[in-house]
Chain A
Amino acid sequence: MDQAAQNVYWDDVEIKQDLPEKNRKIDTTTIAMGATWATHDFMPVHHDRDFAQSKGAPDVFMNILTSNGLISTYLEQWAGPGARIKEISIKLSVPNFPNDNMAMNARITRKWEEGGEHLIELGFAGDNQMGPHAAGTAIMSLPKKG
């Protein structure tokens, strides 16, 4: 497999470039498996509806590690194996409850070189039907051609 072919190169990206949208269905399984199986967050508000309601939430809701993982993966999957996330900052507003969909989008907002690395900054958002679930910025290093 030619891995190099899958990389996005720093030379080729532009400020204001949009990344293709990716959607994830959010149901109870997505929330419970994300919390327990993928991110080892066994806080019962993320997998036990009765417990979540006893704590004052209407239903189980996605944990922040899963939200961070989905967004980070969305960015890395676009950029390819040669890219690295240097910094990521996420703010959460509306929770991801079951029976929803999260649409992830991002846009390149800066492009520069620093300390021998080729960097871009992206603004991103993960929106569900109630509004923004996660929004923030990330700094990634991308490979350079040649």
Chain B
Amino acid sequence: MRNDYGILRFDSPKEATMDYSKVEHLIGVDSPRHPPHDVVSDTDVDHWCQYMQDTNPIYTDEEYAKTTEHKGLLAPSAMVHVFCLGSLRPCLEQFVEGKFQYPTDPNNQVNVIIEEEGYTGVMATAQTQQHFKSIKVGDEVFWTLQMAKFSTYDHLSRQGVGRKYTMLYQFYNQHDELLCKQSFDVLVYRPPMVTRRLYAG
């Protein structure tokens, strides 16, 4: 029997597998539109460009940027998701303490369930971005997201027994114009027993 991902079904003989009906009602439901924690700033863009070794003057040379059709500095399109990641504290609260900034978002409810089910390993496996409009310095980037797809049963991966899901993001600017659609594929897995013992401390 083959599943949606074209690979054979695998049920762990050691641990009971998660029941898909626990999350089914949360799949394919959009979150409310969330505000950014900050505007798109030239400082954030400068940090990105220094790190990425990006010397494109449209991002960092204001005099040059004013002479272009954009009439000012742009942010690299690939940065769109950066402006929507939380500031430090909510982020650490989410990842270390499991407290979500938006606990009622459908995707966050799924995250709580899969953590409880023992899928503690998280690994992003793919990302696609479709860009529709340039991001300008000074813009505010709003976003919605949904968990669009979730494995109905376990896969055996190199990391361990796991589930795959796909998140869909839509990013808008303050004028309600769609900037980008992004999909984000994630593997969540139960680390194998040997790994858990090895790093148990």
Q: Answer yes or no: do A and B interact.
A: yes
Query: CB distance B48 to A38 under 8 Å?
Result: yes
**Residues A72 and B51 in contact in the complex (CB < 8 Å), given A40-B85, A86-B130:** no
Question: B152 near A: Cβ within 8 Å?
Answer: no
**Residues A44 and B95 in contact in the complex (CB < 8 Å), given A54-B199, A72-B78, A92-B124:** yes
Query: CB distance A92 to B78 under 8 Å?
Result: no
Per a CB cutoff under 8 Å, which of B78, B91, B125 touches A85?
B78
For chain A, which range describes its interface: under 10, 10 to 19, 20 to 34, or 35 or more residues? Answer: 35 or more
Query: CB distance A87 to B129 under 8 Å?
Result: yes
Query: CB distance B160 to A73 under 8 Å?
Result: no
**Minimal beta-carbon separation of B103 from chain A (angstroms):** 18
Bound: A8/B152 CA distance, A: 47
Bound: A41/B47 CA distance, A: 13
**Chain B contact surface mostly:** mixed
**Residues A38 and B52 in contact in the complex (CB < 8 Å), given A3-B64, A53-B199, A87-B131:** yes
Bound: A80/B47 CA distance, A: 20
**Minimal beta-carbon separation of A144 from chain B (angstroms):** 15
**Chain A contact surface mostly:** mixed
Query: CB distance B57 to A44 under 8 Å?
Result: no
Query: CB distance A72 to B91 under 8 Å?
Result: no
Question: A77 near B: Cβ within 8 Å?
Answer: yes
Bound: A95/B191 CA distance, A: 16
For chain B, which range describes its interface: under 10, 10 to 19, 20 to 34, or 35 or more residues? Answer: 35 or more
Bound: A71/B42 CA distance, A: 21
Query: Which of A33, A51, A76: most chain B Cβ within 10 A?
Result: A76
Bound: A33/B127 CA distance, A: 20
CB neighbours of A92 from chain B (8 A): 123-127
Considering only residues 116-170 of chain B, those with a C-beta below 8 Å from chain A are: 120-131, 134, 159-160
Query: CB distance A88 to B78 under 8 Å?
Result: yes
**Minimal beta-carbon separation of A132 from chain B (angstroms):** 12
CB neighbours of A136 from chain B (8 A): 126
Query: CB distance B124 to A63 under 8 Å?
Result: yes
Query: CB distance B78 to A56 under 8 Å?
Result: no
Bound: A43/B122 CA distance, A: 10
Show 13 A/B contacts (Cβ-Cβ < 8 Å), sorted by A: A37-B47, A40-B87, A42-B88, A53-B199, A54-B199, A69-B79, A72-B52, A73-B52, A73-B54, A76-B56, A77-B54, A92-B126, A136-B126
**Known contacts A90-B127, A136-B126, then 10 further A-B pairs from the complex at CB < 8 Å, ordered by chain A residue:** A37-B47, A44-B95, A69-B76, A73-B78, A77-B54, A77-B55, A77-B56, A81-B56, A85-B77, A85-B78
> 8 tightest A-B contacts by CB?
A56-B191, A38-B51, A72-B78, A73-B52, A42-B91, A64-B124, A53-B199, A89-B128
